[in-house]
Each structure stands twice: as C-alpha cells, then as structure tokens.
Amino acid sequence: MSSVLEYSPSIYDTWRRNERLLLCYLINARQLPTDHTAYACEDEILSRVRPSDIYSADYQYLYSLLRGMYDANKSIDITTVVQECQTNIAQRRAKRQAIPFDNVIITITDIANIENIVFASYKSVIDAVLTASRSRAIRDEVVNRMPAIMAGDQSASAGLLDRLADIQSSTDVSSSDDDAESEIAARTKACIDYIDTPPAERAKNNIYLGWKSLNCVTMPRGSMFVVAGETGSGKSVFASDVARKNCIKFRHHVAYFSLEMSNLMLQKRMLAAEARLPANLILNGYGSLSANDRTVLLAAGKRLADGGRLHLIDTCNSIDLIENKCRVLHAHGKLDLVIIDHLQLVHTEYGKSPYDKIRYITGRLKQLALRYKVVVLVLSQLNRSKDNRLPDARKDNKPSIPSLTSLRDSGSIEQDSDGVLVIHRPFEQDADGPGFNRINETIVLILKNRWGRLGSALLLFDGNFQTFHGLKNNNFQSFSKMSKKEQKAADDLFNMPNNHSRSA
C-alpha cells in the first residue's frame, strides 16, 4: 500500500513538465531577441519562484544554480550554464556531496531545447508551479498534524487553519481578471495623488535634466530618452552633468555605463565640474593644488560619494551585461536612472547589420526601463550627412539644424524612445570665423517628447570646467506657447531648497 505522501505518476509528470518549462525560459530568455516577452519574464520568475517551490531534485538544483548566476551578473546561455554546472559538480564531488544527475550536458540540453516554446505563456507556467508548491505544502502540513489531531490535541487543530492561511499567502499566484476593476481604480487614485503632490515630493517620482530651462522636460519612470549629437558636441559632458545633478540635487541612484572612457576619467570630469576647478588640473595634472583647492576637491568628492548613489561602470560593454548589472542594482533598491554612453558602442551578437543591432538594443533598453520602473538615458551619434538637416538662419540658411532623421544607424532609435534631445552647437566650427564669440553656445533641441512639449533651450559649454551652464533669464522656448502655470511649475521645481548643488 502506497504512502499518503506519494504522488501519482501523472501528477509528478505535470509538475516536472512545468518546472522544465520554467528552467527553459531562464536559459533561453536572452537568446530569442524577436520576442520581447522572452527577456521580460526572467525577473518575474526569479522574484516569485523560490528554489523550495521546485519539486524535482535535479531541477531544484539547476534553478538554484541559475539564480546564483543571475545574482553574480554572469551571462546566461546553454554553454555558460553547462560550464557552471560542471564546476559546481566538481566541487561537490571533492566534498563527497550528492550529485543530482548523471550527465549534466544531456540534462541541460534536454531542458534548453524544448521545441515551440511560447514565452507569452510564462505567467501561467509560474502560476502552475506555485499552485503545485502550495498544494504540496498544504498536504504535508495536514499529514504532519493529523496524528496529533486524531489523538485529541486541540492546539494542533487550532493552529492548522492559521498555518494553511500562511501557506496560501506565501505562495499566492497572480491576480485574476476580476481584480482589473480595482487595479484601474487604484491607478486613477494614484494619478490624482500625483497631480496634488508638491513639486519637492514629485521630483522623487520623476527624473529631471537639472537645468532650469530644461526642467519642464519631465522623464517619468519607465521611459527611455535619447541624447544625440555630433562627435565632439558635448554629449558625454551633458550626460555626466545629468548624472551629477540627479545624484546630488535630486538624490537619485544613478548607474552610468561608460563605454568611451574609464571610471577614473569620468569621475575626474565630474569632480572638475562639481568643484569648479580647471579640467586640465584634474584630468592631466597641469598645475598644482593649493590648500583651498584640495579642500574644495575633497568636499566635491564627498558630495558625489554621499549615500553611494552614483555607480560608475566601465566593464559592461554588451546589452546582456548591462541588463544583468541593472537587475542586481534594482534588487538592492539602487536604481533610478540608467545612462549609457553611448548606444553605438553597445555590443550584441544579434543581427548582422548595424540597423538590426541598434533595433535590437533599443528594444531591450526600452523593456529594461519598463521592467524596473527607471529612466534610461541613451547617448547616440548623429549622421555626418547634411542632407536631412534643416536650414539655419544663423548660418545663412545653410542646412545645419539636426532633425529626427539625422539619428545614425536606425529609425528604431526614434521609434522606441519616449523623447529625443539633440545637442547642437551651431558655431562650434567657427573658431576663426564670425561666430568665434559664440562658439560655446549650445542649443538643446527637444525633437520628440511623449510626455510634454517640444522646444529648445540655450546652454553655455564651459570647457574649462567640463560642464554646461544655464543662462540667466533664459527659459525653455516651446514650439507651442506654454501657459504661465506650466512655466511656474518648472520654475518651482528648479527653486526647490537644496544645500548640496553648486550649479544650475
């Protein structure tokens, strides 16, 4: 006679099939770039499913191993999983521990090569695994308490219902369609609460560029903005200013992925801008530090380091590594703004042409913003061709002003982004011409803005300190007229009390 704890083969096969699908999702999520749901499912699996929810011993071992690889920011595919398993099994053998399966290559290949896998159904698979785990936990609890209950132990009977309720809540599955109405009502209330929120509190939910003339450009969480410009126009300086201002003024956690320069060089730029010390002194050591300069520099470094909100990363050069690092930072609650400098240097194995590669990367970055509720700010190059430029009255109506079609490599940059900002320095090439006195004037064009107005703002590039300055009494020039209420809201945000920021 079979034990009450034994399960029928059909039930066991169903559990194992769902668990196998779950592992297949995790191994293959980043290998199927045409399906955005594929790489969107991994975080929900890892956040909702615990190793103890997996019944099969070999699959439980593999799931724990995959979680460890994700936490360690490692690349995930069949090859890396097999290598990680072989290393782990060798360590287990050395310690004389049990091995959950005989042939690691066959087991993992069998899991990863499921035919016709549909990533869109991953939520139902998660629910099935959690439902099975809940059923097992409830059954085990009843069986364990049954002898005491049959013996008349009232305490065992009284605690059973409470324990079953705990099991139900700890392994709860996703909400049903019946909750849609309450979810919409909750979001409506959240919208009203947001409108009523004072500017100082509202700044915690949005990301801002940091200059008074650009603070009406709101970047809500879940959005992706592109900052484009020609080579040498100051994109990296602009991005480092945005990172520095958000870290110090708005106290956001910023992950800056630098693919052009090392962390040390990037931090030197930020220190020069924050401390108001010459960039040649900080970057190249031309000159010497006075006692006052040393004090100012240390104070600037302290402001940047305050709270550990600024993360400078120069080791993630592929979209997979960028996503893994963002996942780790998000898991520790240290991610509000992601800056990537710059898009054309991000590596991916997908696609043969630059168009396909950029289309794939921008799609992944947009999903990353939505998944982690952060803002992704991506730097991009402009085409050198003047064919798609607009005439500039300052340049005798020659085609000079960039447009959306000037973005390099792919129209997906324009399509996937929520906003496109272009840094334009019309007199940059006039070192010996009539525009010499205006060589540092920089126009920031907002050519696409899903959350607000289009327009432009004037900044002044300061090469001595490697930063951009806002000009006094220079407001955002909207392509359509702004109301006084909109302009006041932008001014109120900029004028928030702040004891840290040293620049506008």
> What are the pLDDT tens digits along the chain (504 aa)?
334 445 566 777 888 888 888 888 888 776 654 455 656 677 788 888 888 888 888 888 889 888 888 877 777 778 888 888 888 888 888 888 777 766 777 777 777 776 556 666 778 888 888 888 887 877 777 777 777 777 766 666 666 666 666 655 554 444 444 455 666 777 787 777 777 777 667 666 778 888 888 877 888 888 999 998 888 888 999 999 999 998 988 889 999 999 988 999 999 999 989 988 888 888 877 777 888 988 999 999 999 888 788 999 998 888 888 988 888 888 888 899 999 988 889 988 887 788 888 888 888 899 889 888 899 999 998 877 666 666 555 555 555 677 777 776 667 788 888 999 989 887 766 555 555 567 788 888 888 888 888 888 889 888 888 899 887 766 667 655 555 555 555 555 445 444 333 344
> d(Cα 88, Cα 80) in Å, to the nearest integer?
12
SS3 state at 452? coil
pLDDT of residue 1: 35
> d(Cα 75, Cα 82) in Å, to the nearest integer?
12
The structure tokens listed for 146 are 């049954």
CA distances from 92 to 62, 64, 68, 108, 462 (A): 14, 14, 16, 18, 59
Are 419 and 451 in contact, with CB atoms under 8 Å apart?
yes
**What DSSP state is assigned to residue 407?**
B
> d(Cα 494, Cα 489) in Å, to the nearest integer?
9
Kindly report the CA angle at 400 between 376 and 382, in degrees rounded to 5?
30
> d(Cα 335, Cα 486) in Å, to the nearest integer?
29
pLDDT of residue 197: 77
How far, rounded to the nearest angstrom, does the alpha carbon of residue 164 sit from its chain's CA centroid?
38
Strand partners, 310: 254
Per-residue pLDDT reduced to its tens digit, 291-305? 898 899 999 999 988
> Looking only at Cα atoms, what is the longest distance across the chain?
100
Strand partners, 229: 381, 423
pLDDT of residue 498: 44
Kindly report the CA angle at 255 between 310 and 32, in degrees rounded to 5?
165
Q: 9-176: which CATH number, 3.40.50.620, 3.40.50.2300, 2.60.120.260, 1.10.860.10?
A: 1.10.860.10
SS3 state at 364? helix
> d(Cα 230, Cα 382) in Å, to the nearest integer?
5
The structure tokens listed for 391 are 């005439």
* Domain boundaries along the sequence of the chain: 9-176, 200-494
For the domain bounded by 200-494, which CATH number is listed? Answer: 3.40.50.300
> d(Cα 323, Cα 75) in Å, to the nearest integer?
10
Residue entry with tokens 């698979």 = 125
> d(Cα 104, Cα 297) in Å, to the nearest integer?
55
Q: Residue 120 burial (CB < 10 Å; 0-12/13-18/19+)?
A: exposed
> d(Cα 495, Cα 487) in Å, to the nearest integer?
12
Q: Which residues contact 386 (CB under 8 A, 6 or more apart)?
A: 399, 400
Torsion of CA 236, 453, 504, 402, to 10 degrees: 40
Q: What residue type is assigned to position 30 of the chain?
A: R
